[in-house]
Amino acid sequence: MLDFKQTDTNLHKNKADIVALSHLFYAKNWSLATSSNYSMVLSKDPLRVLITASGKDKQFLCENDFVTVDANGDLIDAQNSEHKQSAETLLHTAIAARPGVGAVLHTHSVASTVLSNKYCSKGHLEIQGFEMIKAISLDNMKVSHETCIKLPIFANSQDMVALSKLVDQNYDSLPKGFLIAGHGLYAWGKDLSEAKRHIEGYEFLFEVLLKSGF
Ligand SMILES: [Zn+2]
C-alpha cells in the first residue's frame, strides 16, 4: 500500500507545486475568474485531501490558500477560519478515494466549455487520430494515436451530491477524466505531474477539435 503520510516538508512542497501549476493554468486561460480547483491526496486511510480554498484567484494563489478535507468533503484543517471548501470538493473526494489516484485537477477552459456543451446530448466527446492521445495513461491499455477515447460528458448541476454519485457509479469507465457540460474538465493521475499531463493533453486535444471545426 502506498504511504501518503505527509511530513511538513512534503506538505510545503505539495502546496508549492500546486501554486506553480495554478499560475501556469491561469496563464493558459484555463482557470480565470477564480474558477477551477486543484487537489492532492495526503492520505488514503483515512482519506485526507489538500484542496484549493473556495473563491481564490488562481493567478495569485499562494500556500495559504488551501484547506484539508475528509472523505465527506468536510473541513479537517483550514489554515484560515475564513477559508471554505469549494462546492465541487465532493467531486474531488469521490475520485481521490479511488486506488492509485494522487491528484485531481479541474479547469474551466473555453474549449472544454464549448465542446462539452455541443456534445452533451451525445453523452461523450469522441477523440481519435491525434498523437497527443498518447499523453493519456489508461489502466490496462496501451494507448496510441489510433485509440478512440470517449470522454464522458455529464449534465451540469449545482447538486454536487448527485453529481459526485454519478461520477462514482461511472468511475471504472472514465478515461482519467470527464467533462461537465458548459462547465469544464476534470482529470486526475497517480500524482500531480500525471494529472497535469492529462489536463494538458485533453486541453490540447479540445483546441485541436475546435480548430478542426468539430
Ligand atoms: Zn467548476
Cα-based angle 113, 84, 5 (whole degrees, multiple of 5): 95
pLDDT of residue 20: 98
> What is the whole-number distance in angstroms between the Cα of residue 146 and the centre of ligand 1?
30
Q: Rounded to the nearest whole angstrom, what is the distance from the C-alpha of residue 89 to the centroid of ligand 1?
A: 10
Digit-coded pLDDT (tens) for 177-209? 999 999 999 999 999 999 999 999 999 999 999
SS3 144: coil
Q: Residue 16 C-alpha to ligand 1 middle, in angstroms?
A: 22
User: Can you tell me which residue has the cell 478542426?
Assistant: 212
| CA 149–ligand 1 middle distance (angstroms) | 22
CATH architecture for segment(s) 8-211 = 3-Layer(aba) Sandwich (3.40)
Instruction: Please tell me the distance between residue 159's alpha carbon and the centre of ligand 1 in angstroms.
Output: 12
Report the separation in Å between the CA atom of 49 and the middle of ligand 1, taken as the mean of its atom positions. Answer: 17
**Residues 141-182: tens digit of each pLDDT:** 888 889 899 999 999 999 999 999 999 999 999 999 999 999
pLDDT in tens, 67-109: 999 999 999 875 566 788 888 999 999 999 999 999 999 999 9
- Quick: pLDDT tens for 1-60: 344 556 778 899 999 999 999 999 999 999 999 999 999 999 999 999 999 999 999 999
The three grid cell numbers given for residue 80, joined into one nine-digit string: 484560515
* Ligand 1 midpoint to CA 1 (Å): 31
Q: Which of 61, 47, 137 is nearest to 89 (CA)?
A: 47
Distance 187 CA to ligand 1 centre (A): 12
**From the CA of 213, how far away is ligand 1's center (Å)?**
25
For ligand 1, the distance from its centroid to the CA atom of residue 39, given in whole angstroms, is 13
Report CA(170)–ligand 1 centroid distance (Å): 19
Domain extents in the chain: 8-211
Distance CA 151, CA 164 (A): 17
What Å distances lie between residue 129 and 134, 139, 144, 147, 205, CA to CA? 10, 20, 9, 7, 10
